[in-house]
């Protein structure tokens, strides 16, 4: 595979990831956003290429360095590696207000309350429910209560039961 001259090598968490970062114009019905930054992970060493490279809330992250308030990252599941018609995406930031296209969905992110430096650079999703195939997964309320992580966001959850 030949990489573009502007490919960026990044060390993120426990693996090394290579990705492309581009700036382009994003057009949605009734709105144009110039210099919209998009990152696309190409390959990863030591782990599958499924992480969000350069996407922490720490100082070295791409959004922080560029002073962005919104950032879009294209995600593709490994099972679709050979299927050019399948993809998935995650749109973060914004509040879905009057200036935002109502057809876009936004996911609010939370920051860790941990005092540990490693945990402070990650974003978290505050879950209120889990559904699988349109059926609610019955979990106790404590399953949705944030707790301090020991090492990193991907460390195993301590079972308090």
Q: Which string of DSSP letters, residue by residue, matches 37-73?
A: EEEEEEEEESS-TTS-TT-SSSTTSHHHHHT-S-EEE
Please state whether the predicted TM-score (pTM) of the whole model is above 0.75: no
Tell me how far CA of residue 81 lies from CA of 49, 77, 78, 86, in angstroms: 11, 7, 5, 9
Domain boundaries, the chain: 8-107, 109-161
pLDDT of residue 95: 47
Q: What is the pLDDT along the chain (161 residues), one digit of tens a residue?
A: 344 445 455 555 555 666 666 667 767 778 777 766 666 666 666 555 444 455 666 655 666 666 677 666 555 555 555 555 554 444 444 444 555 455 555 566 676 666 666 566 666 777 778 778 788 889 888 887 766 544 434 333 333 33
- Taking the chain, what is the end-to-end CA distance rounded to the nearest angstrom? 49
């Amino acid at each position: 595979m030949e990489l573009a001259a502007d490919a960026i090598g990044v060390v993120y968490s426990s693996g090394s990831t290579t990705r492309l970062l581009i700036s382009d114009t994003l057009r949605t019905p009734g709105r144009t956003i110039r210099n919209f930054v998009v990152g696309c992970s190409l390959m990863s060493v030591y782990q599958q290429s499924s992480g969000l490279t350069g996407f922490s809330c720490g100082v070295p992250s791409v959004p922080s360095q560029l002073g962005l308030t919104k950032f879009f990252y294209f995600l593709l599941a490994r099972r679709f590696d050979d299927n050019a018609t399948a993809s998935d995406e995650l749109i973060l930031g914004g509040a879905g207000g009057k200036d935002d296209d109502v057809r876009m969905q936004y996911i609010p992110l939370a920051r860790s309350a941990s005092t540990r430096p490693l945990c402070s650079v990650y974003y978290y999703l505050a879950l209120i429910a889990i559904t699988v195939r349109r059926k609610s997964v019955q979990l106790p309320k404590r399953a949705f209560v944030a707790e301090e992580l020991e090492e990193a966001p991907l460390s195993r959850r301590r079972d308090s039961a």
